[in-house]
Amino acid sequence: MAEKGKEVTETVEMMPPEPEGLPKAIVRRVVKDKLSEISTDSDNISLLGESLQAFSEGARVFIHYLSASANEICKESNRQTINTEDVFKALEEIQFGEFIGPLRASLEELRGKKSGASKEKKTNKKSKRKESTAESDDQEKRHKAADVEDDENS
């Protein structure tokens, strides 16, 4: 009996793990957004579950292939961290160079949004500090006024 249990454990350990898929909701949104851009009848766009799974698996395989290529480029440069240029070179290497221009533009747009959000956060922090300082000053003035009033009443 003990040996039978051992066989089951060994079999489970030898099985490859299930591949992690991309979130279906995100894949569905990306596909539908693109299809609505290129279709005149975007209300009638529907996706079967199997096609959604095919999009997801295709994207996952592409990401693995691209990341492996970028990793090779990174290693050839004697580095351990993949940077944006490694990804661009990998795209060129795997014959997807036409994506580099749109990808650069998209990254610049994201950087612009992030820097705008970062500036907004800094502005909000400064405003909060000013408000906090003003409140502290008001409280201090009220306390002094109350102390003066107490002294006068004594």
Could you give the angle at the alpha carbon of 66 between the alpha carbons of 34 and 78, nearest 5°?
A: 145
What are the residues whose beta carbons fall under 8 Å from the beta carbon of 84, sequence distance 6 or more?
107
pLDDT digits (tens, 9 = 90+) for 77-119: 999 999 999 999 999 999 999 999 999 999 999 999 888 776 6
Question: What pTM does this model have?
Answer: 0.59
Task: Supply the CATH classification number for the domain 21-95.
Answer: 1.10.20.10
